A and B are shown apart, each in its own frame.
Chain A
C-alpha cells in the first residue's frame, strides 16, 4: 500500500504569492493533519481534519486554510506568503487519532 503522498516535493514562491499543498492519506485513513516544521525546530500543528470536518487548528494566522475532500485527500492553502513561511510542510494521516500517525515526506516551501 502507498504511504502518505505529498505534492509537490519542493516549491519556490515569491513573497505575497499564494500556494497550495496537497496530501493523499493512506487508503482507509480518514484523518489528515498538517504540520509546519521550520529548520531546526520540531513540527508545529496547523490543522486536523476528520471526515471532512475541521477538528483542530493551531496557532497560525488566517492566511492558512485547509480542506479535506470526499476521498479524504487534503489541501493546505497559504495566502500572502511571508519569508517566515519558508518551512517543511508535513502531512500526517491516521485511521483514528488514537494510533500512530503516518507522515509523508513533506513539501519544502521556500519563500523569496
Chain B
C-alpha cells in the first residue's frame, strides 16, 4: 500500500524561528518520487521540490531545505528563519514510478506570527 503520513496537523512559530515539517511515506516500490507542495489561502498548490528514490542527496534552496532518508522512509522539510509569508498548508506527496497519480498526506498548517 502507498501512504503518506504528516503527523503534525498544525505548527505555530514566531518569525525568524526555524521549523521542520515531517513526512513519512510507505511504499514497496523501488522507484518512486516524493514531492512537497505549498498551499496558500488562495488554494493553488505551489510546487516546491521533487525527489526520486535513487537520489538521497539533501537539497537546499534559499531558506528551504529537504532531508530525504530512505532508511526511515522520511522526507522532511525545514524552513530556516521563517517569515509570515511562509504561512500556508504544506503537503507531502508520493508518486509510484509507473503511474502519474500523486498520493498526498493530510497536510501541515504552518502559521508564522510576526
Residues of A within 8 A of B (CB): 31, 33, 35, 40-45, 48, 50, 55-56, 58, 88, 90, 92, 94, 97-106, 108
**CB<8 Å pairs between A and B, sample of 12:** A31-B100, A42-B106, A43-B102, A45-B101, A48-B101, A88-B43, A101-B102, A102-B47, A103-B47, A105-B42, A105-B43, A105-B44
In the assembled complex, which residues on chain B have CB atoms less than 8 Å from the CB atom of A106? 43-44
In the assembled complex, which residues on chain A have CB atoms less than 8 Å from the CB atom of B33? 98
Contact B95 A100 (CB under 8 A): no
Residues of B within 8 A of A (CB): 4, 33, 35, 37, 42-47, 50, 91, 93, 95, 99-107
Q: Given A43-B91, A100-B50, answer yes or no on A56-B44 (Cβ-Cβ < 8 Å).
A: no
> How many Cβ-Cβ contacts under 8 Å join chain A to chain B?
62
In the assembled complex, which residues on chain B have CB atoms less than 8 Å from the CB atom of A31? 100
Q: What separation, in Å, do the CA atoms of A55 and B50 have in the docked complex?
A: 21
In the assembled complex, which residues on chain B have CB atoms less than 8 Å from the CB atom of A103? 37, 44-47
Q: What separation, in Å, do the CA atoms of A38 and B104 have in the docked complex?
A: 12
Q: Which residue of B lies closest to A100 (CB)?
A: B47
Q: What separation, in Å, do the CA atoms of A35 and B4 have in the docked complex?
A: 16
Contact A42 B107 (CB under 8 A): yes
In the assembled complex, which residues on chain B have CB atoms less than 8 Å from the CB atom of A97? 95, 99-100
Q: Which residue of A lies closest to B95 (CB)?
A: A97
In the assembled complex, which residues on chain A have CB atoms less than 8 Å from the CB atom of B99? 55-56, 97
